[in-house]
Structure formats: C-alpha cells, structure tokens
Amino acid sequence: MATTDRQDLTGISIVMPVRNEAEMLGEALAALTPLRRRGVEVVVVDGESTDPSASIALPLADTVLTGPPGRGSQMNLGASAASGDTLVFLHADTRLPDDAPEQIQQALAGHRWGRFDIALVGQSRWLGVIAALMNARSRLTGIATGDQVMFMTRAAFAAAGGFPEQPLMEDITLARQLKKAGRPACLTRCVESSGRRFERHGVWPTIWLMWRLRFRYWCGAHPADLAREYTQRDNRDAR
C-alpha cells in the first residue's frame, strides 16, 4: 500500500455536477480528499442551487464553478475547466473504490473510455438484482450510464462532442458517440451509488419508467418531453 500512496495521480480530473445536494455533498467530497492529496483534481459545477451546495464545496474541491442547471451543460463546463487529460464524471451520490484511479489508468491503457460496475446501496433487497441487470445490460450493449461513473481521455471526450446539453439521457447519448471509437472498458470493480430514487418511488415502478423512457428515446422522442414526464412523477409525489 505504501507504493500506491506515493503514486502521482496528476492528470486525472474528477468532475462532479451538483444541484441542491447540500445534505450529502460534504461527505461525498470528503471521501475524495485522499485522492486530491495524491494529485487528483476535483472540479465541482453547481447548477444554481438554492441550498448551500456551492459554499460546502469551496473548501473541499480544487475548483468550484456555477452555471445554468442541466447535468450535461454542467459537466461540459467542468471538463473545460479541468486540467487533466483523463476525465472522470462522478455523481454526488456515488462513491469510488479506493483504487479507482489505478483502475482507470489501467483501463485507459487499452481503451479510450470506460465505466465501473455499480452496486446500489439502500434498504430494498431488489437493489442488488437491479444493479446486476444494469451491469449486464451495459456489458452487452457497450452503453454506459452516469451512475456507473463514466471516464475517458480528454481526446475521446472532445472527439465525441462532449455531453449533449439536453435535460435527460445525456449520458446515453455520449456513450453512443464514444462507442463509435470503440467499446468501453467495463470494470468489474464496483462504485457504490445510492438507491434513493428507486426506493422513493418504488423499485419496480421506477424500473418500468426508466425503461419506457429509454425505449421512447431510442424511437426518437425528444429529451425535453421525456424529462417533463420524469419531472411530473416527482411533482405528483411531492403533493
């Protein structure tokens, strides 16, 4: 382990888009402190939060930016400000394994991009099944999602045109573009992501909704229409 601790990880930039994540953001960024000490850059892009997300991030990240809300546009902004040649896109509710940088470096020695397997954390006994299905689907199709922590060379990101600035499915669209240059490195090492969205609305109703939206997107539905349907569910549950 001492050798790993001395390894210089300069050149890796983690980009984290956030919006109203004050409840978990401090813990999420604190978990990245050991990586920052080893040279990993952390860039947080706040999407005009109405809570203290930006101020929480300031002492715990190398760069904190503010831009219009929208995960795709926020991640593009973070990528443009990042200094690394390796870009890692991490959600605030997802935790990396301790050896994530080494895993990424090894993967990019033979691929232009990749993603991790995912483990969903929560109370429902179905979350393990869902995660296994997500990982199997990704391995079969070569398409990754943001929950699986997509990483890539800066050159691959630029060649793919970055994230589309659309309200939903921005990760799927970028993965499709990246796949044109080669299939992803599908790492069996797991990142841990919160199962909160599944448990909040019910595991199987959420799965049904996401598959329905993805099928409609594949058939050509506009992302704004899909985002509206996704948001309407949240608004109904809030009443």
pLDDT digits (tens, 9 = 90+) for 148-198: 999 999 999 999 999 999 888 999 999 999 999 999 999 999 999 998 878
| pLDDT greater than 60 at residue 55 | yes
The arithmetic mean of pLDDT across residues 139-145, rounded, is 96
Token code pair at residue 2: 């001492």
The mean per-residue pLDDT over the stretch 63-87 comes to 97
Q: Provide mean pLDDT across the span 194-217.
A: 81
The residue type of 190 is: C
Task: Tell me: pLDDT of 58 over 50.
Answer: yes
The predicted pLDDT at position 60 comes to 98
- Kindly report the pTM of this predicted structure: 0.89
**Model pLDDT, residue 221:** 80
Is residue 170 classed exposed, middle or buried when 0-12, 13-18 and 19+ CB atoms within 10 A define those classes? Answer: buried
In angstroms, the CA 191 to CA 185 distance is 14
pLDDT of the residue at 209: 82
- Provide mean pLDDT across the span 12-41: 97
More confidently predicted of 218 and 36: 36
Q: How far apart are CA 226 and CA 36, in angstroms?
A: 37
Mean pLDDT of 65-93: 97
Mean pLDDT of 107-115: 97
pLDDT value of position 234: 58
Average of per-residue pLDDT across 74-98: 97
The whole-chain average pLDDT of the chain stands at: 91
The Cα-based distances of 165 to 29, 75, 178, 199 in angstroms read 25, 9, 16, 28
**238: pLDDT strictly greater than 50:** no
Amino acid at 127: L
User: pLDDT band at residue 7, thresholds of 50, 70 and 90?
Assistant: low
The answer on pLDDT for 65 being more than 70 is: yes
According to the model, what pLDDT value does residue 2 have? 39
The per-residue pLDDT for 3 is: 41
